[in-house]
């Protein structure tokens, strides 16, 4: 192995003529003083070694201390892009699952609203926007609020709870699903799942499959039921153009009650839905500050531009959606033949709605990617408060939940892509976002 010096010697040849001759022997004139010089080198080497050892030990101590500090602060090993790596403080005392036999764990009152147990809802439909009118779940105060457990290898044994909360004079129903990993001490994120017009708790859960996907990743899911309609329309959420019960107050009261009763992380509450459920998730983001992010499917463009703090938004919309057209509509104010309010009903172009949200979030950078064969993903980043807007445009996609496939609904609602799965994409998106204020 050659050493510096060019000719393979170490040290390099001395141009002054002193030192070694070409045979590698010491020259006679260099013998003088060599012994004394040699005696000095070991002492200096020992001193340098001690100094290096002390410095290295000091550095090792600093690094070790820093690693312990990061570990106990909960940062070491956390995915910096994941909100789940920034968990808030544990719940104290632990909030365990409510049980009819445990009066101490009864869902807490949040003021006027009260929670009472109810029976499970009956399955009505598997479509995203069933047009059949459905009534609210009747109260059965003799029934336990823990109504059963889903048996699935991917989700363990989550607990499913049906309950009601009184908002004003109206009893409103919802279903809460808690993951098998829920221990009442570690805060868990919550997803609010919103059905489309005429949909029920059972129909939207079966259609999307979101509860199982979310439970397997440690999320709780709450699915509220739309109120009975008094205006001739199928059951629907109260959004501009569709008057009715105070749905914003209902969801706020429901979430507040869940936070008080269970170990729900208030910084990681999210909303999603399809069609009018997507519109309502968007409207909730306009009217409240409770959500860390929203993910509307086929309905962001049913709500006009609104002001507010930056909000991370993930959007899915098919270019061939016949129910909520991608390009918007004009002068169409009827749903199932019933006139809605023409002064407030809105279905604008989806591109315009996306632009409105990027302006609200103050986004400065745009990138586009193509997922063959039918998905174009446009990401708007550089936004205020670490928000972002991500838009999945689905070529030839219908009024459907991406990833479920065409399960007998393609004639009515159009094609459902399988290039992506909305459940996985939105849960990844939720993972990235935690409310900071």
CATH number for 227: 3.40.50.1820
Phi and psi at residue 371, to the nearest 5°: -105, 105
Which 3 state secondary structure label does DSSP give 149?
A: strand
Q: Which residues contact 65 (CB under 8 A, 6 or more apart)?
A: none
Which 3 state secondary structure label does DSSP give 116?
A: strand
What is the rounded average pLDDT of the residues 57-66? 60
| CB-based burial label for 28 (10 Å; 0-12, 13-18, 19+) | exposed
Percent of the chain with pLDDT over 70: 61
Q: Does residue 50 fall inside a structural domain?
A: no
Per residue in 272-331, pLDDT (tens digit) is 999 999 999 999 999 999 999 999 999 999 999 999 999 999 999 999 999 999 999 866
Q: Which helix (H) or strand (E) holds 162?
A: strand 159-167
The Cα-based distances of 165 to 111, 139, 162, 315 in angstroms read: 11, 10, 10, 30
Nearest to 129 by CA among 277, 301, 284: 277
The pLDDT of residue 155? 62
Nearest to 197 by CA among 407, 402, 399, 426: 399
Q: Does residue 14 fall inside a structural domain?
A: no
**Candidate from 58-72, 89-103, 316-330, 331-345 with smallest mean pLDDT:** 58-72
Instruction: Tell whether the model's pLDDT for residue 233 goes beyond 80.
Output: no
Greater model confidence, 221 or 55: 221
The angle, 0 to 180 degrees and rounded to 10, between the axes of the packed helices 247-261 and 276-287 is 70
| Parent domain of 267 | 91-431
**What span, in angstroms and rounded, lies between the C-alpha atoms of 272 and 280?**
9
Average pLDDT value for the chain: 75
> Are the C-beta atoms of residues 249 and 103 closer than 8 Å to each other?
no
The conformational region for residue 139 under phi > 0 = left, psi -120 to 50 = alpha, else beta, is beta
Beta bridge partner(s), residue 366: 380
The conformational region for residue 218 under phi > 0 = left, psi -120 to 50 = alpha, else beta, is left
The pLDDT of residue 60? 65
Nearest to 15 by CA among 23, 25, 5: 5
Confidence class for position 220, pLDDT limits 50, 70, 90? very high
Q: Does residue 221 fall inside a structural domain?
A: yes
> Are the C-beta atoms of residues 324 and 347 closer than 8 Å to each other?
yes
Chain center to CA of 182: 18
Rg, the chain, Cα only: 32
The pLDDT of residue 345? 81
> Are the C-beta atoms of residues 265 and 111 closer than 8 Å to each other?
no
Per residue in 154-187, pLDDT (tens digit) is 567 889 999 999 998 889 999 999 999 999 999 9
Confidence class for position 10, pLDDT limits 50, 70, 90? very low
Nearest to 95 by CA among 302, 280, 258: 258
Q: Does residue 13 fall inside a structural domain?
A: no
What is the rounded average pLDDT of the residues 37-54? 57
Q: Does residue 80 fall inside a structural domain?
A: no
> Are the C-beta atoms of residues 272 and 194 closer than 8 Å to each other?
yes
| CB-based burial label for 289 (10 Å; 0-12, 13-18, 19+) | exposed
Percent of the chain with pLDDT over 90: 51
Q: Does residue 41 fall inside a structural domain?
A: no
Chain center to CA of 162: 24
Beta bridge partner(s), residue 167: 170
Is the bond leading into 11 cis (omega within 30 degrees of zero)? yes
Instruction: Tell whether the model's pLDDT for residue 114 goes beyond 50.
Output: no
End-to-end CA distance of the chain: 62
DSSP 294-330: EEEES-GGGS-----S---EEEEEETT-SSS-TT--S
Is the bond leading into 373 cis (omega within 30 degrees of zero)? yes
The DSSP secondary-structure symbol of 111 reads S
Instruction: Tell whether the model's pLDDT for residue 261 goes beyond 90.
Output: yes
The pLDDT of residue 407? 66
**What span, in angstroms and rounded, lies between the C-alpha atoms of 231 and 428?**
39
Token pair of 315 as six digits: 């959007």
What is the rounded average pLDDT of the residues 408-425? 87
Q: Which of 51-55, 78-82, 115-119, 180-184 is predicted most confidently? A: 180-184
How many domains would you assign to the chain? 1
Q: Does residue 2 fall inside a structural domain?
A: no
Is the bond leading into 382 cis (omega within 30 degrees of zero)? no
The pLDDT of residue 230? 72
**What span, in angstroms and rounded, lies between the C-alpha atoms of 367 and 352?**
17
| Stated length of the chain | 437
Confidence class for position 37, pLDDT limits 50, 70, 90? very low
The Cα-based distances of 387 to 67, 122, 235 in angstroms read: 30, 38, 33
What is the rounded average pLDDT of the residues 90-94? 76
Per residue in 373-404, pLDDT (tens digit) is 999 999 999 999 999 999 999 999 999 999 99
Instruction: Tell whether the model's pLDDT for residue 118 goes beyond 50.
Output: no
């Amino acid at each position: 192995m050659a050493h510096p010096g060019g000719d393979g010697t170490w040290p390099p040849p001395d141009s002054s003529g002193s030192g070694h001759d070409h045979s590698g022997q010491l020259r006679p004139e260099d013998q003088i003083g060599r012994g004394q010089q040699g005696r000095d080198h070991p002492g200096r080497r020992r001193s340098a070694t001690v100094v290096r050892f002390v410095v290295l030990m000091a550095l090792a101590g600093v690094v070790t201390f820093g690693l312990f500090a990061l570990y106990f602060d909960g940062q070491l090993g956390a995915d910096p892009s994941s909100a789940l790596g920034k968990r808030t403080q544990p719940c104290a005392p632990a909030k365990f699952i409510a049980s009819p036999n445990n009066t101490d764990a009864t869902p807490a009152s949040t003021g006027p609203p009260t929670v009472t147990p109810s029976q499970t809802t009956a399955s009505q439909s598997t479509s995203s926007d069933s047009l059949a009118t459905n009534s609210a779940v009747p109260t059965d105060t003799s029934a336990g609020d823990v109504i059963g457990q889903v048996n699935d290898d991917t989700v363990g044994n989550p607990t499913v709870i049906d309950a009601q909360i009184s908002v004003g004079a109206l009893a409103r129903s919802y279903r809460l699903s808690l993951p098998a990993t829920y221990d009442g001490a570690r805060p868990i994120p919550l997803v609010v799942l919103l059905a489309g017009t005429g949909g029920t708790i059972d129909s939207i859960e079966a259609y999307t499959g979101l509860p199982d996907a979310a439970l397997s990743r440690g999320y709780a899911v709450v699915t509220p039921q739309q109120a009975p309609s008094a205006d001739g329309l199928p059951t629907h959420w109260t959004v501009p153009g569709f008057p009715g019960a105070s749905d914003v107050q209902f969801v706020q009261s429901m979430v507040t009650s869940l936070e008080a009763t269970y170990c729900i992380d208030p910084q990681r509450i999210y909303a999603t839905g399809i069609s009018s459920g997507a519109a309502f998730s968007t409207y909730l983001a306009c009217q409240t500050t409770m959500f860390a992010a929203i993910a509307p499917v086929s309905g962001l463009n049913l709500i006009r531009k609104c002001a507010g703090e930056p909000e991370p938004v993930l959007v899915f919309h098919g270019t061939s959606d016949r129910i909520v057209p991608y390009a918007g509509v004009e002068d169409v104010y009827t749903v199932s033949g019933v006139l809605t309010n023409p002064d407030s009903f809105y279905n604008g172009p989806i591109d315009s709605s996306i632009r409105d949200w990027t302006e609200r979030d103050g986004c400065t950078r745009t990138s586009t990617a193509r997922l063959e064969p039918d998905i174009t993903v446009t990401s708007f980043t550089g936004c205020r408060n670490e928000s972002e807007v991500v838009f999945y445009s689905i070529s030839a996609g219908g009024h459907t939940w991406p990833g479920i496939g065409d399960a007998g609904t393609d004639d009515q609602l159009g094609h459902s892509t399988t290039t992506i799965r909305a459940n996985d994409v939105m849960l990844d998106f939720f993972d990235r976002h935690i409310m900071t204020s």
